[in-house]
Amino acid sequence: MQLKETRRDIKSIDLLPLINVVFLLILFVLIAGRPSTNHPAGLEVARSTVETAHQGAALSVWLKQDDRFYLSESKPVTLTELAQLVDEKGLAAQGLPLELIADRRAHAKPLMAFRRAMARAGIGEIRLKTEFAAPSEAGGG
């Protein structure tokens, strides 16, 4: 009895087109994707002439044009509520900073009241988030 010799051809899968598609998708996401910020709509942040790297903070508070503080878009919070939140989260005990995003049209009085209230709550560092403006832009020109 004679057996037929069967020869199997090993077929390779060409992965190069798949790699190209994945690479193009990654490039698309990197270019088209816009990093999101937690700025509420209509908030114009102050400008600074010194560019610094963004460092996240434990809590982000917004001071809007109406001179009220917000943790979200909808409901304003009082300084007492903010101090209680800082105490509940233990931010002062951990030595974590707060981030303040203030509208440039807001007044200084609530800003100073915020600083005093957070100092009483034990917060040692408040970071004011600003928009970088080149020195020529900052001069009003």
Domains belonging to the chain, first-starting first, are 47-138 (3.30.420.270)
Q: Tell me the per-residue pLDDT of 39-64, one tens digit each, with 9 for 90 and over.
A: 566 677 767 666 666 566 778 888 88
DSSP letter assigned to residue 100: E
Each as own residue / partner, the long-range contacts of residues 9-16 (CB below 8 Å, 24 or more positions apart, any chain) are: none
The confidence band for 139, taking pLDDT boundaries of 50, 70 and 90, is: low
The pTM score is: 0.58
